[in-house]
Amino acid sequence: MQYFINSAWTIFRKDLILELRTRENIGTILPFSVVIAFIFNFTFDPSPQLMATVGPGIIWVAFIFSGTLGMNRLFLLEREFGTLEGLLTSPIPRESIFIGKFLGILCLLLVIQGILIPVFLVLYNFNLFEIRFITITFCATIGFSSVGSLFSAIAVNTKAREIMLPVLFLPIILPIVIAAAAATEKIFTTDGWSNILPWLQLIIFFDLVYLVLSSILFTSVIEE
Amino acid sequence: MVESTALQLQSISKSYGKNSALKSIDLTIHCGQIVALFGHNGAGKSTLLKIFSTALKPDKGQIHIMGADSNKYPSWCRSQIGYIGHMNYLYPDLSPIENLTFFARLYGIADHKTRILQVLEDLELKDKSKQPVRNLSNGQQKRVAIARALLHQPSILLMDEADAGLDLYAKSVVKSIVQQVSQSGGTVFFSSHDPIDSLAYANEFILLEKGTLIAHRESNPNSKADLLKILRTNN
């Protein structure tokens, strides 16, 4: 177990060092996400009533699009330089590659979401600095990252990977997106946890299902 | 009992879609041997080496590495193998020392700092150890790739055209590494397009043609002549 954790941590740490050194992912995804937020700002009249209705959709569209872009690149470097074969010929369990990659994309998406929250405050006057929204976002991002890590590994071996990933990823992730958007709408309109708790439970349920299934399927996907 | 069989394949087949890359290959390589693998482009050399390295799963058949079934003991089998492929398997934005530290951690090498310094010194890379890999020459990158493959002191070294595109000095480094591994009791199995140079130090050779093993012979003047004849005829 210690070896498993160490291997996953080593892969995560390597991805983190590479990202801090090159800023390739964040440099691409962040401007893209901010542009999405800006486009919606010019499309709608940001009145409080309208924003309470369409706001959750805007937030989650921005999160999902930026996430999809980040996931497309998750295995690209490993594929481009053949390092995936280097990982596969090492004695580490395949699942630890999955966990390492999952932690990498989770961390990247949380950082991007953390940067987007003040952008939404400035553009739409959404105060998203509250524990309920942060909990929902964190839990939903776990689900995105687990499914994204699996489908990114599948898509990287296909010719039309940029198209393949969203086609595979978005329909599967739909239950989490719907639950997260619905919970966000409740956060905008009500106080307390009671109204968002059923949605949060649904997200956690899908997180567990996706994490377990993705880590099991990853082993066979990565060896093909 | 000392295990005398380093690599064993039983009825291995592999297809990519409708194309059959390997057709029911049976092969045994004994410990301490240097075995060269020849064949024209598309003969199945890289597929065979990738299957031995466990990076690729065959459609059918069994693989034994140092006597262990690679399906039952995959981690142990992988720990016995050092693999150098067409690509260098290095992260270009990390330095050689960072790349080697990363792989040393994956292989669970105790006291990896000492071991890394040792392989860097053996491959004359100490002065380049802190530069990003992307700034190194092709030959220097290949030496880092060899260092990565030797880091965990594998019993078997697999090399897929490791000397392709290298200058004479880098080729001599590859050759001396092969001889060192063999002298210390290790097994080397490598593919090459240069039969004259490779047969100068290989004990055995294998010839693949369209996914079928057509020859596995000891390297001697007669067999070398036969091999060269076959390779030239098919060209």
The stretch B81-107 carries a mean pLDDT of 93
Q: What is the DSSP letter of B127?
A: G
* CB contact at 8 A, B31 and B4: yes
pLDDT at A81: 87
Substitution target in A73, A89, A94, A159 with the highest count of B β-carbons within 10 Å is A89
- Search chain A and give the residue with CA nearest B82: A89
Mean local confidence (pLDDT), A13-25? 90
Of A7, A81, A224, the CB nearest to B90: A81
Which residue numbers of A have CB closer than 8 Å to B's CBs? 3, 6-7, 10-11, 14, 17-18, 21-22, 77, 81-83, 85-93, 223-224
User: How do beta strands B187-191 and B156-160 pair?
Assistant: parallel
Question: CA of B89: which chain A residue's CA is closest?
Answer: A83
CA pair distance B178, B34, nearest whole angstrom: 8
Supply A146's token pair: 């687990």
Q: Residue A54 burial (CB < 10 Å; 0-12/13-18/19+)? A: middle
Residue A124, both tokens: 């739409």
Confidence (pLDDT) at B215: 82
- Compute the nearest-CA separation of A146 from chain B (Å): 22
Q: Could you give the CA distance from residue A60 to residue A143 in angstroms, rounded to a whole number? A: 14
The reply to whether B94 touches chain A by the CB within 8 Å rule is: yes
Cβ of B94 within 8 Å of Cβ of A85? The answer is no
Cα dihedral A137/A138/A142/A143 (nearest 10) = -30
**Chain Cα centroid distance, residue B81:** 8
Using 50, 70 and 90 to split pLDDT, how confident is the model at B1? Answer: very low
CB contact under 8 A, A82 and B56: no
Give residue B234's pLDDT band: very low, low, confident or very high (50, 70, 90). Answer: low
Contact flag B81-A89 (C-beta cutoff 8 Å): yes
For residue B186, CA distances in Å to A222, B77, B219 come to 29, 14, 18
Q: Which domains does chain B have, with CATH numbers?
A: 1-80+155-235 (3.40.50.300), 87-153 (no CATH)
The count of structural domains within chain A is: 1
What is the rounded distance in angstroms from the CA atom of residue A132 to the CA atom of residue B105? 39
pLDDT at B3: 56
**Residue B167 predicted with pLDDT over 70:** yes
Q: What is the pLDDT of residues B99-157, one digit of tens each?
A: 999 999 999 998 899 999 999 998 888 888 899 999 998 888 988 999 999 999 999 99
pLDDT of B87 higher than 80: yes
The set of residues, in sequence order, having a beta carbon less than 8 Å from that of A160 and lying 6+ positions away, is none
pTM of this structure:
0.87
Among chain A residues, CA nearest to B49: A89
When pLDDT is cut at 50, 70 and 90, the band that residue A121 belongs to is confident
Residues in chain A within 8 Å Cβ distance of B102:
10, 14
Predicted pLDDT at A24: 83
Q: Pick B191 or B221 by higher pLDDT.
A: B191
State the residue range of the domain holding A132: 2-223
* Residue B210 scores a pLDDT above 70: yes
Q: What is the pLDDT of residue A224?
A: 67
Q: Give the residue ranges of DSSP H helices in chain B.
A: 45-53, 74-79, 96-106, 112-122, 138-150, 168-183, 195-198, 221-234
The 10s digit of each residue's pLDDT in B20-49 is 899 999 999 999 899 999 988 888 999 999
User: What number is the ipTM of this complex?
Assistant: 0.85
Residue A90: per-residue pLDDT = 93
Q: Which residues of B touch A10 (CB under 8 A)?
A: 102, 105-106
Is the pLDDT assigned to residue B235 strictly greater than 70? Answer: no
